[in-house]
Amino acid sequence: MKDNRNQPFNQQYELKNAPPSAELENTPDGGEEYSLNDDRRVKVLSPGAMVAKRFFRNRIAVLGLVILSFMFLFSFVGGLIMPYAEDQLFYRTEYQNKEYAGVVKNDELRFETADGQSFDSAAQAYTVLALQQNKDSFEFLGVEYKIVTEGEDLYRITDAAGTTLGIAFKDVVASSVEGQNISFDLRLSALKASANGDASFTVDGVSYELDENGVLTSGGDEIAFISRYVVNPIMSDVFLSRDFKEQLIVSLEEGHDAFKFTDADGTESEYKINYRADVKTWSVMKATETRTYDTYASPNRKHWLGTDRNGMDMLTRLMYGGRVSLLIGFIVELIASVLGMIMGGVAGYFGKWVDNLIMRIVDIFYCIPSLPIIIILGAAMDALSVPPKLRMIYLMLILGFLGWPSMARLIRGQILSLREQEFMVATEAGGINVSRRIFKHLVPNVIPQMIVSVSMGIGSTIITEATLSFLGLGVKFPFASWGNIINDVNNTYVLTNFWFIWIPAGLLILLTVLAFNLIGDGLRDAFDPKMKR
């Protein structure tokens, strides 16, 4: 296996398969046959082309290449094509029925005391009693009260001298203007007009008009609304307009259980009416729109892979996550292989005590438990709350710095054996200077091994990064990485119910790492055909 590596810069010849039937192909146009030892019978391939040819003949390696190309397109081009940004949040609107108003049909007498008079609740109770017995006067605590019927369900209570003490009524005068008080006199007059069917009346020199719907106006301005129903908002800061009440009451009387109403701002809402027999009230529910983060949405046309726990598009996150994961893999391996090449090269070329020293350093690094160290550093960075971007850079540096020893060992071994080969002796004999010998003759011969090792190294770096991010110690939000996307599976509910959160990311990691390993294998076989027996 070493013979081949010795002379990769010699041109390699491959005899064209020339079975007798193919003989004709080897003849030039003139029909004249080449002699057997004619150079033109031989197709010349450069070493690179030979490697490529062997590589592409390996179907599994090509499969790896295809998967990897897909991953690169997916993460680097996909992110550009997707209409969504990496950390774009999505919302959904939810309809919730909230209690909006309560409606009571007023079947009991209500009382109002005239200004400056006393008409307490005991007297009110006697009034009810007297009315039930159809009496027009009663006595209470030695005081005589008279009841004057002003209209249907409207009574005025006076004392013996005829002074109005209060009124008893069933229809309710509800103010149409927020914060406006309706005076006793106005109420009495309005109720009287309503009971008697009068269209207008005057109180304190102001004239009021009353239409058949019970709307009380003065000079065109709406003042109040008379109705048998009492409508109260549930929330104290809500003012119910007269239009709303009117429409509500119409719906109530017609027995609908839902209606639509457009308020003054022009927003239409839907209301539901429930009659609660136990308390004899209608409760009105308003369907309110609430905007929430669209979390854990199942795959749909807008989000092909659904959304994650923050309401971000899963597919987009996967694309950006792929960028981060692949980039970290490449940068870490770049750091590791540059360091490894320098240290291994120096050790291998100079040998003796330099080699001994560097190899002992490599031994020491080999011994350091890298995953626990990274976990500790990650936890320390958590405690110091390092910003996510800086953290990502630290992560790459740490992983790269812990990764160089294996590369150094590989390169040193290669260079040690290459150094003793005849072609190196030849370069020395030929008087080529040291740097040229190293970089022109030694390094290129090491590169195939390096590429194989880097290819596999990227795969394992991606797994390490994903594992760290999965544990919450690697790449942090808002950056996506395949590992921290799966992180959510720690939540058992997600594990059980939302496959689309973690299965795609896991498959992407699996496929990418597999592809790197397949390519590494294929390249090794291609660089070193004797390995493939």
Please say which residue, 150 or 525, places its beta carbon nearer to another protein.
Answer: 525
Angle (deg, nearest 10), helices 370-383 and 443-470 = 50
Please report how close the Cβ of residue 479 comes to another protein at its closest, in angstroms.
18
Q: In this chain, which stretch among 118-126, 312-320, 423-431, 468-476 interacts with another protein, using CB under 8 A?
A: 468-476
Q: How far is the CB of 522 from another protein (least distance, A)?
A: 11
Burial per residue of 314-328, b for 16 or more beta-carbon CB atoms within 10 angstroms, e otherwise: bbbbbbbbbbbbbbb
Query: Is the dihedral angle over the CA atoms 313, 319, 325, 331 positive or is it negative?
Result: negative
Counting contacts by CB under 8 A, is residue 533 touching another protein?
yes
Nearer to another protein, 59 or 301 (CB): 59
- x-marked contacts with another protein along 367-396 as a string, rule CB under 8 A: xxx-xxx-xxxxxx-xxx------------
Backbone angles phi, psi at 223, to 5 degrees: -110, -50
Q: Tell me how many residues contact another protein (CB under 8 A).
A: 44
Q: Is residue 470 near another protein by the rule CB under 8 A? A: yes
Cα(158)–Cα(138) distance, rounded to whole angstroms? 11
Shortest reach from residue 526's CB to another protein, in Å: 16
Residue 363 binds to another protein (criterion: CB under 8 A): yes
Question: What DSSP designation does 298 have?
Answer: P
Among 172, 252, 473, 485, indicate the residue that binds another protein (CB under 8 A). Answer: 473
* ω into 47 cis (within 30 of 0): no
User: Which lies closer to another protein via its Cβ, residue 450 or residue 513?
Assistant: 513
Question: CB-wise, 166 or 474, nearer to another protein?
Answer: 474
Residue 308 CB, nearest approach to another protein (Å): 16
- 397 is a site residue for another protein (CB under 8 A): no
Q: How many CA atoms lie within 13 A of 185 on its CB side?
A: 10
Give the integer Cα–Cα distance in Å for 483 and 504. Answer: 11
Q: Show the tokens assigned to 306.
A: 């659904």
The stretch near another protein (CB under 8 A) out of 13-21, 239-247, 366-374, 428-436 is 366-374
Q: What is the CA radius of gyration of the chain?
A: 46
* Residue 480 found at the interface with another protein (CB under 8 A): no
Stretch that binds another protein, among 29-37, 256-264, 358-366, 422-430 (CB under 8 A): 358-366
Tokens of 517: 């390993």
Instruction: Tell me the closest approach of the beta carbon of residue 383 to another protein, in angstroms.
Output: 5
| Rounded Cα distance, 27 and 18, in Å | 11
Closest CA relative to residue 195, chosen from 152, 225, 164? 152
Q: Is 502 helix (H, G, I), strand (E, B) or coil?
A: helix
Q: Is 495 in the site for another protein (CB under 8 A)?
A: yes
Q: Residue 524 CB, nearest distance to another protein (Å)?
A: 11
Choose which of 400, 459, 474, 522 interacts with another protein (CB under 8 A). 459
Q: Which residues pair with 190 in a beta bridge?
A: none
Which residue's CB is nearer to another protein, number 191 or number 408? 408
Taking residue 219's Cβ as centre, other Cβ atoms within 10 Å add up to 9
Closest contact distance (angstroms) between CB of 523 and another protein is 14
489 Cβ partners below 8 Å, 6+ apart? 495, 501, 502
Which is closer to another protein, CB of 64 or CB of 311? 64
Do residues 192 and 202 lie in contact, with contact meaning Cβ atoms separated by under 8 Å?
A: no
Answer yes or no whether residue 364 interacts with another protein by CB under 8 A: yes
Q: Is 338 in the site for another protein (CB under 8 A)?
A: no
Kindly tell me which of 36 and 367 has the beta carbon lying closer to another protein: 367
Give residues 54-73 in contact with another protein (rule: CB under 8 A).
60
- CA–CA dist 293, 297 (Å, integer): 10
For residues 119 and 482, which CB has a smaller minimum distance to another protein in the complex?
Answer: 482
Nearest alpha-carbon partner for 339 in 285, 287, 407, 396? 407
- Residue 192 makes CB contacts below 8 A (sequence gap 6+) with 150, 151, 154, 198, 201
- Residue selected from 392, 509, 523, 526 as contacting another protein according to rule CB under 8 A: 509
Residue where the block lists tokens 């010699």:
10
Structure token digits, residue 368: 């350091």
Task: Give the footprint of another protein on this chain (CB under 8 A).
Answer: 60, 360, 363-364, 366-369, 371-373, 375-380, 382-384, 459, 463, 466-467, 470-471, 473, 483, 486, 489, 492, 495-496, 499, 502, 506, 509-510, 513-514, 517-518, 521, 533
